[in-house]
Amino acid sequence: MKKTKIQLASSIDFQVNGGKKLHGSIKTNFSKNGSVGLLCASLLNKGVTTLHGIARIEEVNRVIEILESIGVKVVWQDKNTVVVTPPQKFKLENINIESAAKTRSIVMLIGPLIHMLPHFSLPHAQGCTLGKRTIAAHTYALEELGVKIKTTSEKYEINAKKLKTAEIVMYESGDTACENILTASALIEGETVISFASANYMVQEICFFLEALGVKIDGIGTSTLTVHGIKEINKNVEYWNSEDPIESMMFISACIVTNSRLTITRCPIDFLSLELEKLKRMNLKFKILKRYSSYNGRTKLADIEIFPSKLKALADKIHSNPYPGINIDNLPFFVPIAIRAKGQTMIHDWVYENRAIYFTELNRLGANITLADPHRVYIQGGTPLKPAQVVCPPALRPSMVIFISMLAAPGVSILRNVYMINRGYEEIAERLNSIGADIKILK
């Protein structure tokens, strides 16, 4: 494996002049997780794949660097469109280890590459620091398909000589694990059944894309998927990635914490419905303005107008679940909302060991958050926020939660080392400034 020196934007800070009201309208950008999943899944196609709606973010940049290092040609056609051309032969020995170390998405290359190479290795998956994140759900399911995976101290060694269909029960309902099994089973002729599958937005995105490639999938949007695998995919195809419900939720949270009136357009409404129901019960005033479809013709979108509201804490805890529960990545955005709500809120982040600990960084901004254990926090709402200097924690969503909370703190706050935010959000400072925020980028 070859190490390639890359330049990473790791020394950028945000200066936030908080206390400003947001106003007007902001559009939801294309999905981060859909973007990386589609880039990985495109390797199944021996033809040229044109992907529209690919987010221009650091996570995508790292995935593209990895793909290019193993021989894939990836060309940006315009701002959010990439053209992917596979090589005659993949060169895994040249994989860019430094880029791979920056993203957990690399593990999703296993599913497509088992059809191209009988034996290869990949460096360990990383990404956000969120406690123990094994790939057991990936390996157990892939083994059912005939893939043998050996884990060493530095890499995963994959052997895939005799692939077969299977009836798989997912060890856990993980999104990336399910995407990996979808791409792995797409080119195994016959029916593979995936039970306890994730039905989350990025998994549905991969299902829609595979159908565009000619792979029939039954049960999309449910916890049982049947993949009708085919022998080969060799076609020139165009596909649109859909919008990011986590970004929609971020704007909703930013609007609420600043007590503003704001319209968020192109929101994937099916993946926000329970979140909005919880907010409705917290006394949030909002209106669904119109409903329509994304460019892929499959994902349902809506425009949502949020109004200034006097919020009250829920008597019940707020916790995430696999879809259709509250999204794991939407849960952190309830933390700044709970800071504004009258009363005490308990948020239970049961999936990740460390993420709840990062929420207590908001106490630097004047919040009253008590850590009950590594998974639960109690938030006493109604405390005014104040400016502070904070270093981004090594996790995307907690970093973003601190950032948007700074918008509500009158005065000048500094958020240090925002690489984590740039991993998942495109031109976020500029976009927030367009709706009334006052943010300067310090390099």
User: Residue 53 domain-assigned?
Assistant: yes
55: domain range? 32-240
Flag whether pLDDT at 86 surpasses 70: yes
Out of 240, 260, 289, pick the residue that ends a domain. 240
Tell me the backbone φ, ψ of residue 294, rounded to 5 degrees.
-70, 175
User: Residue 264 domain-assigned?
Assistant: yes
Based on the fold, state whether residues 309 and 432 are members of the same structural domain.
yes
Average pLDDT of the chain, as a whole number: 94
User: Residue 5 domain-assigned?
Assistant: no
Number of separate domains in the chain: 2
Flag whether pLDDT at 3 surpasses 80: no
In the structure encoding, which two tokens stand for residue 151, read together? 């884990």
The pLDDT value given to residue 125: 67
Based on the fold, state whether residues 217 and 152 are members of the same structural domain.
yes
Flag whether pLDDT at 32 surpasses 90: yes
The pLDDT value given to residue 130: 42
Is the CB of residue 138 less than 8 Å from the CB of residue 124? no
Based on the fold, state whether residues 291 and 346 are members of the same structural domain.
yes
Of 292, 312, 310, residue with least CA distance to 300:
292
End-to-end CA gap in the chain: 32
User: Residue 6 domain-assigned?
Assistant: no
Question: What residue type is 72 in one-letter code?
Answer: V
The per-residue pLDDT for range 408-442, each reduced to its tens digit, is: 999 999 999 999 999 899 999 999 999 999 999 99
The pLDDT value given to residue 151: 87
The per-residue pLDDT for range 345-382, each reduced to its tens digit, is: 999 999 887 889 999 999 999 999 999 999 999 999 99
The pLDDT value given to residue 54: 98
The per-residue pLDDT for range 221-261, each reduced to its tens digit, is: 999 999 999 999 999 999 999 999 999 999 999 999 999 99
Q: Helices (DSSP H) in 321-434: which residue ranges?
A: 334-340, 355-359, 396-406, 419-424, 428-433
Based on the fold, state whether residues 249 and 122 are members of the same structural domain.
no
Based on the fold, state whether residues 211 and 260 are members of the same structural domain.
no
The pLDDT value given to residue 128: 47
Is the CB of residue 366 less than 8 Å from the CB of residue 391? no
User: Residue 1 domain-assigned?
Assistant: no
Based on the fold, state whether residues 185 and 277 are members of the same structural domain.
no
The per-residue pLDDT for range 177-221, each reduced to its tens digit, is: 999 999 999 999 999 999 999 999 999 999 999 999 999 999 999
Flag whether pLDDT at 313 surpasses 80: yes
Return the sign of the alpha-carbon dihedral for residues 36, 38, 39, 44: positive
Which CATH number does the domain housing residue 181 bear? 3.65.10.10
User: Residue 357 domain-assigned?
Assistant: yes
User: Residue 7 domain-assigned?
Assistant: no
In the structure encoding, which two tokens stand for residue 356, read together? 């709840």
The pLDDT value given to residue 126: 62
Q: Give pTM, 2 decimals.
A: 0.94
Confidence of residue 9 (pLDDT cuts 50, 70, 90): very low
The per-residue pLDDT for range 318-346, each reduced to its tens digit, is: 999 999 999 999 999 999 999 999 999 99
210: helix, strand or coil:
helix
Based on the fold, state whether residues 302 and 429 are members of the same structural domain.
yes
Based on the fold, state whether residues 229 and 303 are members of the same structural domain.
no
Flag whether pLDDT at 159 surpasses 80: yes
Burial of 414 per CB tally in 10 Å (0-12, 13-18, 19+): middle
Contacting residues for 131 by C-beta, under 8 A, at least 6 apart: 352, 353, 354, 355, 374
Out of 240, 268, 296, pick the residue that ends a domain. 240
Based on the fold, state whether residues 349 and 399 are members of the same structural domain.
yes
The per-residue pLDDT for range 113-123, each reduced to its tens digit, is: 999 999 999 98
How far is residue 56 from each of residues 42, 216, 281, 433, measured CA to CA in Å? 17, 30, 36, 18
Question: What residue type is 39 in one-letter code?
Answer: L
Over pLDDT 70: what percentage of the chain? 96
Tell me the backbone φ, ψ of residue 304, rounded to 5 degrees.
-125, 130
Based on the fold, state whether residues 341 and 362 are members of the same structural domain.
yes
What's the rounded mean pLDDT across residues 381-407?
A: 96
Based on the fold, state whether residues 326 and 431 are members of the same structural domain.
yes
What's the rounded mean pLDDT across residues 383-391?
A: 97
Flag whether pLDDT at 127 surpasses 90: no
Based on the fold, state whether residues 157 and 259 are members of the same structural domain.
no
Cα 200 from Cα 174, distance rounded (Å): 9
Contacting residues for 369 by C-beta, under 8 A, at least 6 apart: 335, 339, 359, 360, 362, 363, 377, 378, 379, 380
Contacting residues for 406 by C-beta, under 8 A, at least 6 apart: 14, 16, 18, 365, 385, 387, 388, 390, 413, 415
In the block, residue with structure tokens 């890499």: 155
Out of 206, 240, 274, pick the residue that ends a domain. 240
| Pairing state between β 155-159 and 119-123 | antiparallel
User: Residue 156 domain-assigned?
Assistant: yes
